[in-house]
């Protein structure tokens, strides 16, 4: 009788073990055989529309039917519609090759994203080559020494100095050309109540007869600004703010240079007080540059950056705010 009970118990335990092994795999720490993987049904890439002139990171987000969203940027196959505009690597980093328009898509597991629109644009920094970082490197544009591009192209000269008065690395812009103002949609307004994207009525023709090889540089029109009109410092103040708004050269802290900063700009690496900004860097210098430093009369002092060896180039003038002078905006380069 005892043996019969033992045999029945053994048969029952054996059946239970077989049942566990065959039917309840999850009790042994294994996933149920009935569970299926989430299925990818959509890929979204961002930014979906952009303009840039330096390398920019794209991101691909996969949407799955279980409600999850996953960054699959390194798994997708990136591609562009138009060749020669941009390259994009396996991580989604897009590097410009030339100015132009194209679209970008991402493909994975049979799913293709919608096209993202992409415009490679000019940085407006004279001498900057698309695909190169903006800086003093080759093709970076800063301290560019081409005497022609500011004349023929819609760009701004940028000079870098280490200001001895405060030790900061600073970038200074030359006054803009008429060509650049046209590209930015500016117009002339010499009235005292000017507003918006305007400059003064004066467009100064630089003769380019001094400093560079005579006859090799055509005359060109450069812009002057007044300090009256809408906002603090009028047209001049709005111009420097515009550079911040458009993130010129990748910076958003542009402001009017002080008279002390313009003196530092002129004297930087210029022990003989020569006309270096014009001779070496091709800046327009025929007219003085405004500063934000107020003088004894209405308006601000201006600095004449023309180098006359027989005269003091730092003419501290207290003109009326309606006077027309060149503009130099400055940015403290926190990245250095």
Can you tell me which residue has the tokens 């970082």? 133
Lowest mean pLDDT among 187-191, 314-318, 322-326: 314-318
For 201-217, the pLDDT digits (tens) are 666 666 544 444 434 44
Which residue range is the domain that position 231 belongs to?
Answer: 149-332
Specify the pLDDT at position 260: 86
State the CATH number of the domain containing residue 69. Answer: 2.60.40.10
Please report whether residue 25 resides in a domain.
Answer: no
State whether 116 and 234 are in the same domain. Answer: no
State whether 187 and 308 are in the same domain. Answer: yes
DSSP per position, 261-292: HHHHHHHTT-TT---HHHHTT----SS-EEEE
Specify the pLDDT at position 27: 38
Specify the pLDDT at position 37: 87
Specify the pLDDT at position 136: 92
113 vs 73: CA distance, rounded Å: 12
Top-confidence residue, 312 or 74: 74
State whether 71 and 185 are in the same domain. Answer: no
Question: What single DSSP character describes residue 72?
Answer: -
For 103-117, the pLDDT digits (tens) are 999 999 999 999 999
Specify the pLDDT at position 312: 52
Can you tell me which residue has the tokens 């007219």? 287
Please report whether residue 2 resides in a domain.
Answer: no
Is the pLDDT at 10 greater than 90? The verdict is no
State whether 108 and 159 are in the same domain. Answer: no
State whether 56 and 170 are in the same domain. Answer: no
Among residues 310, 285, 314, 313, the alpha carbon closest in space to that of 211 is found at 285
Specify the pLDDT at position 201: 67
- Cα 25 off chain centre by: 57
Among residues 118, 104, 37, 49, the alpha carbon closest in space to that of 76 is found at 104
Q: Could you tell me the pLDDT band of residue 230, with boundaries at 50, 70 and 90?
A: very high
Round the average pLDDT of the chain to a whole number and report it: 80
State whether 153 and 100 are in the same domain. Answer: no
State whether 99 and 210 are in the same domain. Answer: no
As for how many domains the chain has, the answer is 2
* CB burial of residue 316 (10 Å; 0-12, 13-18, 19+): middle
State whether 67 and 171 are in the same domain. Answer: no
Specify the pLDDT at position 25: 40
State whether 116 and 164 are in the same domain. Answer: no
Is the pLDDT at 272 greater than 70? The verdict is yes
Specify the pLDDT at position 154: 84
Tell me the average pLDDT across 148-167. Answer: 87
Please report whether residue 136 resides in a domain.
Answer: no
Specify the pLDDT at position 146: 85
Domain end point (choices 82, 102, 120): 120
Q: Could you tell me the pLDDT band of residue 278, with boundaries at 50, 70 and 90?
A: confident
Please report whether residue 132 resides in a domain.
Answer: no
Top-confidence residue, 170 or 15: 170
For 248-260, the pLDDT digits (tens) are 998 999 999 988 8
Specify the pLDDT at position 296: 41
Top-confidence residue, 33 or 122: 122
Cβ neighbors of 156 (< 8 A, separation 6 or more) are 124, 125, 126, 150, 173, 174, 176, 180, 248
Please report whether residue 274 resides in a domain.
Answer: yes
State whether 276 and 154 are in the same domain. Answer: yes
Please report whether residue 215 resides in a domain.
Answer: yes
pTM comes to: 0.71
State whether 158 and 242 are in the same domain. Answer: yes
Specify the pLDDT at position 178: 86
HEC sequence for the chain? CHHHHHHHHHHHHHHHHHHHHHHCHHHHCCCCCCCCCCCEEEEEEECCEEEECCCEECEEEEEECCCCEEECCCCCEEEECCCCCEEECCCCEEEECCCEEEEEEEEECCEECCCEEEEECCCCECCECCCCCCECCCCEECCCCCCCHHHHCCCECEEEEECCCCCCEEEEECCCEHHHHHHCCCEECCCCCCCCCEECCCEEEECCCCCCCCCCCCCEEEECECCCCCCCCHHHHHHHHHHHHCCHHHCCCCEECCHHHHHHHHHCCCCCCCCHHHHCCCCCCCCCEEEEEECCCCCEEEECCCCCCCCCCCCCCCCCCCCCEECCEEEECCCC
Please report whether residue 27 resides in a domain.
Answer: no
199 vs 291: CA distance, rounded Å: 16
Specify the pLDDT at position 169: 97
State whether 89 and 177 are in the same domain. Answer: no
For 298-310, the pLDDT digits (tens) are 334 555 554 444 4
**154 neighbors 222 (Cβ within 8 angstroms):** no
Q: Could you tell me the pLDDT band of residue 240, with boundaries at 50, 70 and 90?
A: very high
Please report whether residue 192 resides in a domain.
Answer: yes
What is the share, in percent, of the chain residues with pLDDT greater than 90? 43
Cβ neighbors of 29 (< 8 A, separation 6 or more) are none
């Amino acid at each position: 009788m005892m043996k019969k009970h033992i045999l029945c118990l053994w048969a029952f335990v054996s059946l239970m073990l077989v049942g566990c092994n065959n039917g309840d795999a999850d009790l042994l720490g294994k996933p149920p055989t009935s569970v299926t993987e989430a299925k990818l049904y959509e890929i979204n890439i961002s930014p979906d529309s952009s303009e840039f002139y330096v390398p920019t990171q794209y991101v691909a987000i996969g949407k799955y039917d279980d409600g999850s969203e996953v960054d699959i940027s390194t798994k997708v196959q990136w591609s562009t519609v138009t060749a020669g505009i941009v390259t994009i690597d396996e991580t989604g980093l897009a590097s410009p090759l030339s100015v132009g328009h194209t679209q970008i898509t991402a493909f994975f597991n049979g799913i293709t994203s919608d096209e993202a629109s992409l415009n490679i644009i000019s940085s407006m920094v004279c001498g900057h080559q698309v695909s190169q970082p903006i800086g003093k490197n080759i093709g970076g544009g800063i301290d560019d020494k081409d005497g022609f591009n500011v004349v023929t192209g819609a760009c701004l000269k940028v000079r870098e100095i280490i200001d001895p008065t405060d030790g900061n690395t600073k970038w200074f812009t030359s006054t803009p050309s008429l060509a650049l103002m046209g590209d930015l949609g500016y117009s002339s307004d010499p009235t005292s109540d000017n507003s918006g994207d305007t400059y003064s009525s004066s467009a100064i023709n630089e003769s380019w007869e001094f400093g560079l090889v005579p006859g090799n540089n055509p005359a060109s029109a450069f812009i002057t600004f007044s300090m009256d009109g809408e906002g603090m410092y009028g047209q001049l103040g709005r111009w420097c703010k515009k550079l911040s708004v458009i993130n010129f050269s990748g910076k958003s802290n542009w402001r009017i240079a002080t008279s002390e900063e313009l003196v530092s700009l002129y004297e930087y690496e210029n022990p003989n007080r020569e006309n270096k900004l014009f001779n070496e860097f091709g800046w327009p210098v025929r007219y003085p540059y405004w500063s934000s430093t107020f003088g004894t009369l209405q308006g601000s002092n201006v600095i004449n950056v023309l180098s006359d060896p027989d005269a003091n180039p730092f003419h501290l003038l207290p003109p009326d705010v309606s006077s027309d002078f060149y503009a130099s905006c400055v940015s403290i380069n926190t990245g250095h």
